[in-house]
């Protein structure tokens, strides 16, 4: 929570004064210190959104609403993986440890898994809002994107909770080691999200926590090989955690139902990978644009292999942080790259 609040405060400090809420900075600082900064952002966005919906808002007000929603989407993702997902793992561990669960706990665990996957979909859709309409996700693509994230995250959380059944303090060793490996990996790839080197290290540390549970792209270029390396590492690591639990399980343990559940984790993970391959091969918006022949053929050298960004008339109302992430996530065509450079120059 403190890390997410720190990011929110740093973003507010770096935003132009005209784009900040009409609240004194000391009061904003106090709200973030009390862990209410994200809550304030949501209330303020609701206020602006209600104003936009009730009146015939100008385009600038709509852009400002989008500016606010992009930051909220990113902060929600941080909150999900830095706070909610560890709490979900702990709750699952407690249920397995006590070998009993209330109906409300079961519903809460199921809902929490869905919310984790939903936050990834919401973040991805937020980034795609910077692209032209033809690159937006349709309903089928959104469902597959949601499902493959769900099928990849569920086994990961399950094996960590199961491993903690026998070695509760082992997680206190396992997590820092994997987190450190992910932090070094992110640092070697290089990121340019925050405004200064110090906050950038905080961002990399937070991304490393996300990578402990789920894939998160931070570097430009093709992600195929990086994705293969990451999923291979997580698959091997999760398999070792499951095997460690099987090796140390006492015969008198009253968790007979766990053996088939843990055995189903691997097929579930492989199903998630299969859905991801399906998404990128047939359901990705770029593939649909190619099939419909709607690519802008810029030149004969293949410069149109990337996507095209929207051209903004008011660059000051564009969330530059999220736009940089969108540039990282999606390969740019020459036209989109020119638009991006022009927007950067305008700011």
152, 277 contact by CB (below 8 A): no
User: Residue written as tokens 């140390």?
Assistant: 248
**Cα–Cα distances in angstroms (integers) from residue 239 to residues 155, 228, 246, 255, 267, in the given order:** 10, 16, 10, 19, 12
Rounded Cα gap, residues 54 and 51, in angstroms? 5
Whether the Cβ atoms of residue 109 and residue 95 lie closer than 8 Å to each other = yes
CA-nearest of 124, 125, 105, 102 to 113 is 105
pLDDT in tens, the chain (347 residues): 999 999 999 999 888 888 888 889 899 999 999 999 999 999 999 998 888 887 765 677 778 888 899 999 999 999 999 999 999 999 999 988 888 878 888 898 999 999 999 999 999 999 888 887 667 788 888 999 999 999 999 999 999 999 998 888 899 999 999 999 999 999 998 888 888 889 999 999 999 999 999 999 888 777 888 999 999 999 999 999 999 988 887 555 566 778 888 889 999 999 999 999 998 888 877 766 666 654 433 333 334 456 676 666 566 678 888 888 888 877 654 444 444 444 444 33
Only one residue has tokens 């450190």, namely 180
DSSP annotation string for 293-327:
T------TTSGGGSB-BPPPS-GGGS-HHHHHHHH
Q: How many CA atoms lie within 13 A of 37 on its CB side?
A: 29
Residue with tokens 């005209």: 18
Overall residue count recorded for the chain in this entry: 347
């Amino acid at each position: 929570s403190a890390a997410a609040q720190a990011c929110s405060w740093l973003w507010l400090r770096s935003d132009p004064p005209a784009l900040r809420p009409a609240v004194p900075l000391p009061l904003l600082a106090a709200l973030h210190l009390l862990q209410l900064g994200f809550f304030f952002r949501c209330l303020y966005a609701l206020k602006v959104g209600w104003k936009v919906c009730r009146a015939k808002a100008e385009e600038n007000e709509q852009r400002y609403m989008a500016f606010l929603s992009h930051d909220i989407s990113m902060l929600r993702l941080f909150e999900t993986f830095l706070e909610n997902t560890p709490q979900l793992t702990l709750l699952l561990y407690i249920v397995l440890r006590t070998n009993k669960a209330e109906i409300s706990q079961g519903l809460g665990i199921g809902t929490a898994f869905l919310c984790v996957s939903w936050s990834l979909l919401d973040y991805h859709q937020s980034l795609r809002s910077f692209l032209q309409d033809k690159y937006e996700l349709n309903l089928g693509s959104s469902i597959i994107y949601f499902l493959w994230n769900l099928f990849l995250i569920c086994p990961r959380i399950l094996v960590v909770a199961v491993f903690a059944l026998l070695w509760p303090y082992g997680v206190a060793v396992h997590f820092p080691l994997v987190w450190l490996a992910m932090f070094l990996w992110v640092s070697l790839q290089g990121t340019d999200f925050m405004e200064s080197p110090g906050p950038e290290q905080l961002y990399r540390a937070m991304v490393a926590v996300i990578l402990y549970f789920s894939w998160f792209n931070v570097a430009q270029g093709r992600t195929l090989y990086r994705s293969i390396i990451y999923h291979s590492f997580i698959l091997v690591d999760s398999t070792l955690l499951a095997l460690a639990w099987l090796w140390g399980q006492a015969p008198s343990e009253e968790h007979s139902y766990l053996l088939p559940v843990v055995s189903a984790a691997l097929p579930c993970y492989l199903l998630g990978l299969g859905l991801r391959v399906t998404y990128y091969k047939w359901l990705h918006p770029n593939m649909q644009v190619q099939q419909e022949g709607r690519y802008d053929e810029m030149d004969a050298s293949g410069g149109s292999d990337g996507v095209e960004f929207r051209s903004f008339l008011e660059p000051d109302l564009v969330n530059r942080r999220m736009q940089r992430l969108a540039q990282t996530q999606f390969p740019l065509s020459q036209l989109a790259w020119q638009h991006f450079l022009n927007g950067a120059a305008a700011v």
